[in-house]
Amino acid sequence: MTDSYDLVVIGSGPGGYIAAIRAAQLGMKVACVEKYVRLGGTCLNVGCIPSKALLQSSEKFEEANHTLAAHGVKVSGVTLDLDTLLARKDKVVTDITKGVEFLFRKNKITWVQGTGKILAAGKVEVALTAGGSQTIETKNILIATGSEVMPLPGVEVDEKQIVSSTGAIAIPKVPKHLVVIGGGYIGLELGSVWRRLGAEVTVVEFLDRITPGLDLEVGKQLNRQLSKQGIQFKLSTKVTGAKKTKAGVTLTLEPAAGGPKEELKADVVLVSIGRRPYTEGLGLAEAGVVLDDKKRVKVDGHFQTNVPGIYAIGDVIAGPMLAHKAEEEGVVFAEILAGQKPHLNYDAIPAVVYTWPEVASVGKTEEEVKASGVEYKVGKFPFTANGRAKANGDTEGFVKFIADAKTDRVLGCHIIGPDAGTMIAECALAMEYGASSEDIGRTCHAHPTLNEAVKEAALAVSGMALNM
Ligand SMILES: Cc1cc2nc3c(=O)[nH]c(=O)nc-3n(C[C@H](O)[C@H](O)[C@H](O)COP(=O)(O)OP(=O)(O)OC[C@H]3O[C@@H](n4cnc5c(N)ncnc54)[C@H](O)[C@@H]3O)c2cc1C
């Protein structure tokens, strides 16, 4: 049987499903090929959403155990019902992925359930989940197949004793000792979840710092805060092997620069050393689609591959592997296809680490600005001097602005503190409009809010902070 479409999207993650919806809104006949049992991709099924559900629940457990008493709220006999906690997370995932199914129906997008393979420009063959195959004809193909967990040689994931992030959101019993390999945001978020639920957590990181993409000062502060909470860090250390027994896993560690080996025992090991683009079985080589040196699909500024009519967006192409980056690319791609002239500003894409305190940033780090040779000024404001943070009892961290010394244009903003992920939105908006730090500092912010720390840090760029 052959069907014909304007656009066939392969993959229904935040890149693919958003592109499909925008294209349908613009009048195109759209199908989306997805092989997983649910729509929504990594983000909704095993990524952003379930990890945030677990962070939220574990935060509540931590509050009940440790911080509510300081507010005069006395609770006793706090116990953990892990089954309920995990079931709640699963329900959140089911509900939100059903929401995408609803949006597909609303926008008349056909979900073709199965694995897509590009036969040539204009032709996608789907090995149907229900059995058999279907060939779809289409004017345009969008590859939105995302990414997969990067494997670590010698430490094979079995999703029981040695887990990837997918296994780490479903561990059925709180491990006594969880070793996280990799100090990136996924490892730190999931490490925080299990530490709050009672595990001893050790993070082993090859580099001499955690969260390598972050502003160094902010990264160091996060390291200090997480250490204070009890997470142990072994930096400049590599894992070279893993031995499994019934009792657990014994890892072999070595200094990153070489040296004597040591052993580290764990009940569960989480491998989270990064993600790599996922293009397996897509037929890209046969279709003549070129990849770059990191095996990502190579595209031009309009998301077009080297083969006319075949496009790609999201984690499978270059750029930060973030859901909102994939979504924006999905919108921009669909609008370009419809003949519009949209623009995506890659300099104003925020990034958030949902630990506590949270870390959020947009624009350049101080190290990047320094390396670029541009003269710059820094303005900082601590949450200890913010009234709302004091009232809330969450005063850890600060806001840091980096602005061009000559023009005052904001080049970067970095926040470590309560709800940093929500606060960064105003900084991204400001950067999108090319704001100066003075523009932000002179914008009236409601009192008492955490965002007043953003205003004060912006004022601090020119030495005008008021509450410090
Ligand atoms: C634990 C974890 C936490 C995360 N937290 C965050 C966060 O807080 N914020 C954030 O911005 N990002 C987060 N991310 C990253 C985010 O999930 C990704 O950046 C995002 O999902 C990428 O979207 P995408 O559309 O490119 O691909 P994906 O979401 O990976 O979707 C790709 C889809 O394509 C399907 N597919 C692949 N090949 C085929 C084929 N041949 N045929 C049919 N279907 C196919 C897959 O089944 C999948 O459903 C997290 C990731 C993980 C793992």
Atom number in ligand 1 closest to CA 48: 5
* Ligand 1 atom 3 nearest Cα: 47
Distance 279 CA to ligand 1 centre (A): 13
Distance 146 CA to ligand 1 centre (A): 5
Q: Over the stretch 425-451, which tens digit does the pLDDT of each residue have? A: 999 999 999 999 999 999 999 999 999
The mean pLDDT value of the chain amounts to 97
Q: Residue 1 pLDDT > 80, yes or no?
A: no
Distance 224 CA to ligand 1 centre (A): 30
Question: Residue 2: which pLDDT band, with cuts at 50, 70 and 90?
Answer: low
Distance 165 CA to ligand 1 centre (A): 12
Q: Is the pLDDT higher at 2 or at 456?
A: 456
Q: Over the stretch 364-391, which tens digit does the pLDDT of each residue have? A: 999 999 999 999 999 999 999 999 999 9
Distance 21 CA to ligand 1 centre (A): 17
- In this structure, the residues whose C-beta lies within 6 A of any atom of ligand 1 are 10-16, 33-36, 41-43, 47-48, 51, 115-116, 144-147, 165, 186, 278, 281-282, 314-316, 321-324, 326, 354
Atom number in ligand 1 closest to CA 314: 26
- 66 annotated active-site: no
The model scores a pTM over 0.95: yes
Atom number in ligand 1 closest to CA 33: 43
* Ligand 1 atom 30 nearest Cα: 146
The count of C-alpha atoms lying within 13 angstroms of the C-alpha of 100, restricted to the half-sphere facing its C-beta, is 27
Q: Residue 107 pLDDT > 80, yes or no?
A: yes
Q: Residue 16 pLDDT > 70, yes or no?
A: yes
Q: Over the stretch 208-245, which tens digit does the pLDDT of each residue have? A: 999 999 999 999 999 999 999 999 999 999 999 999 99
Distance 12 CA to ligand 1 centre (A): 8
Catalytic residue among 66, 71, 302, 447: 447
Going by C-alpha positions, the residue among 457, 458, 464 that lies closest to residue 382 is 457
Q: What is the 3-state secondary structure of the chain?
A: CEEEEEEEEECCCHHHHHHHHHHHHCCCCEEEEECCCCCCHHHHHHCHHHHHHHHHHHHHHHHHHHHHHHHCCCCCCCCCCHHHHHHHHHHHHHHHHHHHHHHHHHCCCEEEEEEEEEEECCEEEEEECCCCEEEEEEEEEEECCCEEECCECCECCCCCCEECHHHHCCCCCCCCEEEEECCCHHHHHHHHHHHHCCCEEEEECCCCCCCCCCCHHHHHHHHHHHHHCCCEEECCEEEEEEEEECCEEEEEEEECCCCCCEEEEECEEEECCCEEECCCCCCHHHHCCCECCCCCECCCCCCECCCCCEEECHHHCCCCCCHHHHHHHHHHHHHHHCCCCCCCCHHHCCEEECCCCEEEEEECCHHHHHHHCCCEEEEEEEHHHCHHHHHHCCCCCEEEEEEECCCCEEEEEEEEECCHHHHHHHHHHHHHCCCEHHHHHCCCCCCCCCCHHHHHHHHHCCCCCCCC
Phi, psi of 168, rounded to the nearest 5 degrees: -70, -15
Q: Residue 249 pLDDT > 80, yes or no?
A: yes
Q: Over the stretch 17-28, which tens digit does the pLDDT of each residue have? A: 999 999 999 999
Question: Residue 3: which pLDDT band, with cuts at 50, 70 and 90?
Answer: confident
Atom number in ligand 1 closest to CA 147: 30
| CA dihedral of residues 129, 27, 327, 344 (deg, nearest 10) | 150
* Ligand 1 atom 5 nearest Cα: 48
Atom number in ligand 1 closest to CA 39: 49
| Cα–Cα distance for residue pair 286/278, rounded to 1 Å | 16
Q: Residue 108 pLDDT > 70, yes or no?
A: yes
| Cα–Cα distance for residue pair 80/409, rounded to 1 Å | 49
- Block residue for tokens 């993650």: 13
Q: Over the stretch 273-318, which tens digit does the pLDDT of each residue have? A: 999 999 999 999 999 999 999 999 999 999 999 999 999 999 999 9
Q: Residue 60 pLDDT > 80, yes or no?
A: yes
